Amino acid sequence: MKYLTEYRSPEVVEGLLKEINHTVTQPWTIMEVCGGQTHSLVKNGLIDMLPEKLSMVHGPGCPVCVTPQSLIDKAVWLAEKKGAILCSFGDMIRVPGYGKSLLEAKAAGADVRILYSPLEAVNIAKNNPDREVVFFAVGFETTAPANALSVLHAERQGLSNYSILTSHVLVPPAIEAIVNDPGNVVKGFLAAGHVCTIMGIHEYEPLVEKYKLPIVVTGFEPVDLLHGILMLVKQLEAGVYKLENQYSRVVEADGNPSARATIDKVFDIVDREWRGIAVIPKSGYVLKDAYAKYDANVKFDIPEAIRIEENECMAGEILRGKMKPFECKHFGKKCTPLHPLGAPMVSSEGACAAYYHFSNVLETSKEVAV
Amino acid sequence: MENNLMDKDIPASNFSLSCPMPKFDFDTINLGHGSGGILTQRLLNSGVFDVLKNDLLDDRHDGAVFEMPGKIAFSTDSYVVTPLFFPGGNIGDLAVNGTVNDLAMCGAVPKYLSLSFILEEGLAMEKFWEILQTIRKACDAAGVQVVTGDTKVVERGKGDQMFINTSGVGTVHALAKLGWKSLQADDYILINAPVAAHGIAIMSLRSGLEFETTIVSDSFPLHDTVKGLLDQFGEDIHFLRDATRGGLASVLNEIALDAKTGVDLRQRDIPLDEQVHGACEMLGLDPLYVANEGVFIAIVNKSIAATAVKYLQDNGWPFAAAIGNLTEEHKGKVILKSSIGGRRVVNMLPGEQLPRIC
């Protein structure tokens, strides 16, 4: 497949692996930020092909994993509201809140629909004028423009029965939180390519300077990932820090200005709770006051979720790269995709699910370099 | 077709495949069509019996009585596909080919089918008619006959337009010695055709996911191919299984678990149509788990693997390939060697494959 097979070429992969092996002389721990990258690494068996001294830890870039349980409870409450249609991306529906999951609500009779695009939800609202349609707008900067656009479309069409339950999170503040964590072991980051497709790369420059931190914006195919890793370890071994763009065939330095303008028009930046991590300052989007009537949180009087103490899930440790999925005592035993203790085992981008699905007998525990 | 109440005076017209739909009094199925009364009789006489006409069915008894030679294979399956019509077919050919293929995987040549409809009140008569005709065409293509059946109607909202159950019997090939016990430690795994087309064709029509594609379902009767393989290679064919629900990955996992063997797969050898591959990439689905309706795997003696692949390629399956082998290592696990040389476990799916966020 054009633009795909060449980035999965065994010959190129072999060459890059050789060069990485040749470059790495001391132990390094690096983090791939995006769950899509984690899955590609594990699914293609790359983790086991990297040198022993190089330890990959898996970052918080899984929107499903970092969406607070209280918000899922809100989505379930909306789904169960009489006459409502709750639309969601597929990944979200299996994750339980403090109460049930959207999948369980659907089984019990709620009208929960899996969509690929929020614009489809606007169409559903248009075709069902007597029903409230809510889109569960989760994701990083990547999905924000489409969600913002759905609000603008609803406004243009004069729809009063469309709203979004937003839980957008932002990558740079999360990287900063990880770097500032007292026990941080991560020495360099592979930034998430598709987020940068929207946002560009400039917002990472302050992080590179402030924390003397090598960051390489990286794609998702095996060749992309190995190329990004090679660029990162070259910096680390040379003792330099800079921002580089491995994914330049997709990511422009300025990102996508019209998508960014759409985001800026509709969203404000706010402090946001990240499941298993903390409230991170200025790390999320909320609808501006001018669009408050499309904000499900404002439109409906949703009861606050009853918070239950976090269970035995080590999601916080996993998402900050302090623990590998297979190091968790519950991994594959008490916690499986069928009976998950937490979101990383459920989501298709979750690190625990990646290891469970693709490498549960192959992974050998490598030391995390400190 | 519980026809003991049948009014024999209502004449059955001569059926041809170009027949326009007969007049059924109603444009849609209603509860009366399942009551056993006059509406049922009209539906059966002018519809089902007429379209599916054959000597055994024409006996119009509660069941069919016939003789079968040799060892018999018997199988049943229910069909609940949404939507009823999809690129490359409809629920009708699925219901015939599905059971035909289950029998074929037993090494049998299918002969007779039963056919049960559960219809939802409100189903358009035109749809019913079209599906009936498709069933007849599929039966003719597969060389099988529907010899007994049943029609029930449920209230609106209690079914999804139409469910079909078919059961079938066939005579097992004299040289067939198929099953777990025939497997050998170093057997090769062959596949006849590219994976994932059926599931993607269906998904292209699902609400919220619509996309334009020329991908069509691969629904196809496999028994002629199986018969050919058994004629040629006899006991060297050790195991057959069609990779329907859950796709290739699920079938291989079942084999690994049930036969307590390891399975090694080579990603680069698994045939995959480029358009199907593209759709899977776009939707975030793994083609190994996507359903097929005309794909089967044959686990065969290593010594005949290359010849058997050649046989398949020369007999209508140009993309047939050897995709892996059994192994005494990692028993109970399917391990895929990725195209770039890495290795990963291919597990059972914990539920439905869900589309990703980004």
List all residues 6 or more positions away from A262 whose beta carbon is below 8 Å from its beta carbon: A145, A148, A149, A152
B22 confidence band (pLDDT: 50, 70, 90): confident
pLDDT above 70 for B19: no
- Single out the residue of B195, B200, B198, B197 nearest to residue B355, CA to CA: B200
Residues A73, A305 contacting (CB under 8 angstroms): yes
Mutation target for B interface from A62, A357, A360: give the one with most B CBs within 10 A: A357
- The alpha-carbon radius of gyration of chain A (Å, integer) is 21
* pTM for this predicted structure: 0.81
Distance from CA of B350 to the nearest CA of A (A): 6
- A13 in helix, strand or coil? helix
Distance from CA of A251 to the nearest CA of B (A): 16
Mutation target for B interface from A1, A34, A44, A220: give the one with most B CBs within 10 A: A44
Strand partners, B143: none
pLDDT of residue B358: 53
> What are the tens digits of pLDDT across the range B26-75?
889 988 888 888 888 888 887 788 889 898 988 888 899 999 999 999 99
- Single out the residue of B194, B210, B272, B197 nearest to residue B83, CA to CA: B210
Indicate yes or no: CB of A360 within 8 angstroms of CB of B356.
no
A48: nearest CB among B330, B339, B342: B342
Strand partners, B322: B190
pLDDT above 60 for B110: yes
B204-242 CB burial, b ≥16 within 10 A, e <16 = beeebbeeebebebbbbbbbbbbbebbeebeebbbbbbb
Indicate yes or no: CB of A36 within 8 angstroms of CB of B358.
yes
A94: nearest CB among B342, B343, B351: B351
pLDDT above 50 for B10: no
More confident residue, B44 or B295: B295
* Cα dihedral sign, A294-A295-A301-A303: positive
B357: nearest CB among A14, A64, A222: A64
Distance from CA of B276 to the nearest CA of A (A): 11
Q: At residue B109, what are phi and psi to the nearest 5 degrees?
A: -100, 110
| Tokens read off for B188 | 């090769």
> What are the tens digits of pLDDT across the range B128-169?
999 999 999 999 999 999 999 999 999 999 999 999 999 999
A338 touches chain B (CB under 8 A): yes
Instruction: Please give the Cα distance from A364 to A176 (Å, whole number).
Output: 30
pLDDT of residue A309: 58
A348 touches chain B (CB under 8 A): yes
pLDDT above 60 for B5: no
pLDDT above 50 for B211: yes
Mean pLDDT value across residues B82-96: 93
In chain B, the residue whose alpha carbon lies closest to the alpha carbon of A362 is: B344
ipTM: 0.73
Q: Residue A281: is the preceding peptide bond cis (ω within 30°)?
A: no
Strand partners, B150: B116
Which residues from B are below 8 Å from A when comparing CB atoms? 207-209, 274, 277-278, 281, 283-284, 330, 333, 335, 337-347, 350-351, 354-358
A337: nearest CB among B330, B350, B358: B350
pLDDT of residue A92: 87
A159 touches chain B (CB under 8 A): no
- B133 in helix, strand or coil? helix
Instruction: Please give the Cα distance from A153 to A133 (Å, whole number).
Output: 14
Mutation target for B interface from A40, A116, A250, A347: give the one with most B CBs within 10 A: A116
Instruction: Please give the Cα distance from B49 to A72 (Å, whole number).
Output: 53
> What are the tens digits of pLDDT across the range A23-74?
999 999 999 999 899 989 988 889 889 999 999 988 888 888 888 888 999 9
Helix (H) or strand (E) holding B306: helix B305-314
pLDDT of residue B8: 36
- For chain A (370 residues), the mean pLDDT of every run of 10, in chain order, is 81 95 96 92 89 92 87 95 94 84 93 92 96 95 95 97 95 94 92 95 97 97 96 97 96 96 97 87 96 96 76 80 87 83 78 79 39
| Tokens read off for A78 | 């909306």
Q: Which residues of B touch A140 (CB under 8 A)?
A: 358
pLDDT above 60 for B289: yes
Residues B333, A361 contacting (CB under 8 angstroms): yes
> What are the tens digits of pLDDT across the range A185-239?
999 999 999 999 999 999 999 999 999 999 999 999 999 999 999 999 999 999 9
Indicate yes or no: CB of B357 within 8 angstroms of CB of A9.
no
Other beta carbons within 10 Å of B165: 18
- Single out the residue of A307, A302, A306 nearest to residue A77, CA to CA: A302
pLDDT of residue B248: 96
Residues 189 through 208 of chain A touching chain B, CB cutoff 8 Å: 194
A83 touches chain B (CB under 8 A): no
Q: At residue A161, what are phi and psi to the nearest 5 degrees?
A: -110, 20
In chain B, the residue whose alpha carbon lies closest to the alpha carbon of A42 is: B344
- Single out the residue of A129, A107, A173, A145 nearest to residue A259, CA to CA: A145
- Single out the residue of B80, B147, B145, B77 nearest to residue B109, CA to CA: B145
- A43 in helix, strand or coil? helix
Report in angstroms the alpha-carbon separations of B329 from A364, B261, B332: 17, 8, 9
